A and B are shown apart, each in its own frame.
Chain A
Amino acid sequence: MSQAVSVVGLYVRDQDEALDFYVAKLGFRVHTDVRNGDYRWLTVQHPDQPSLQLGLFTPVSPMLDPGTVQALREIVAKGAMPPLVLAVDDCRAAYDRMRDGGVEFTQEPLERFGSVDAGFRDPSGNGWKMIESRR
């Protein structure tokens, strides 16, 4: 497929911390990690979904003014960024594995309407729903 969404970005508070979380704890892979002075373009991808990169970006000046940087950091830390959804084959197994790996869960696996879902946050405060794909 040559036409598709290829990068979707998240704001994170610390890129090293986010890298450790998404790669070591969630099992994503690093796609691109390049720096230009203080700026760092960092993207990861789900091992089963090479067509989409998840960008882990920090709000920084001079791309943004200091007031906006502060506001965005607050919004992320308050968990007010849009919801993210991770599809998994087995929600309970993924929950056990990730919880043992130190992921902060906000909701234990819950069965409703023929599927199982759970909720977790990345260290920055971004909220994920983990939903078992319907079989």
Chain B
Amino acid sequence: MLDFICRDGERVSQDPELLRRLLRAKDRMDAASHEKWTVRRLARVSHVSDAHFARSFKEAFGVPPHRYLLARRIERATALLRDTDQAITEISFRTGWNSVGTFGRTFRDVTGESPGGFRAREKAAPRELERVPVCILSAARRPDLKIAVLEKRRLATADKVGVQKVEVP
């Protein structure tokens, strides 16, 4: 089977049949982002080797699979914070974190505010998007993780201690 048809400059051509199977793994993460998704488990869904999966997924969707999963979890947490009255601890477990501390830290790293702060701000904001199908709206609001969360945290810390800010393209 053809994996890469050609490399013409930046764009890597991928076999549509492989992409369809990678999409299936992405769909499975979407459907159950609270579950543990190892590369091995995802690779099995796509019927490819582990190493091949990680590389092909990133080429296809622009982010490594674990970062995609993280963005999905944060997206789901933001929806639960906005639309329900569930406790933040409850939300952290429902969206796949083992500790509320890790959840709070990651949430802040990704969105720039704490879960509680986000909730208070969202609950106060007027509703105007009710005519857009919820599932689609939710995807549109997914956090855009262009860099790794650890990198984002490092940059924020560097910024605070006065180190010259690095421009991230």
Interface residues of chain A, those whose CB is within 8 Å of chain B, are: 13, 70, 73-74, 76-79, 83, 85, 104, 106-108, 112-113, 117, 119, 121, 124-125, 129, 131
Contacts and interface: CB of A to CB of B under 8 A. Distances in A.
| Cβ-closest 9 pairs across A and B | A77-B19, A77-B16, A73-B16, A77-B20, A106-B27, A79-B23, A78-B19, A125-B20, A83-B136
Interface residues of B, number: 22
Contacts of A13: 16, 20
B61 to A, nearest CB: 7
**Max chain A C-beta neighbours (<10 A), residue from B27, B31, B61:** B27
B23 A119 contact: no
A129 B16 contact: no
Contacts, number: 52
B122 to A, nearest CB: 15
B119 interface: no
A121 B22 CA distance: 14
Nearest to B24: A104
Nearest to A112: B134
Contacts of B19: 74, 77-78, 125
Q: Summarize B's interface: helix, strand, loop or mixed.
A: helix
Interface string B53-67: 000000011000000
A106 B72 CA distance: 14
Interface of B: 5, 13-14, 16-17, 19-20, 22-24, 26-27, 30-31, 60-61, 83, 130, 133-136
A70 B17 CA distance: 12
Contacts of A78: 19, 22-23, 60-61
B13 A70 contact: yes
A13 to B, nearest CB: 6
A73 to B, nearest CB: 4
Contacts of A112: 83, 134
B14 A106 contact: no
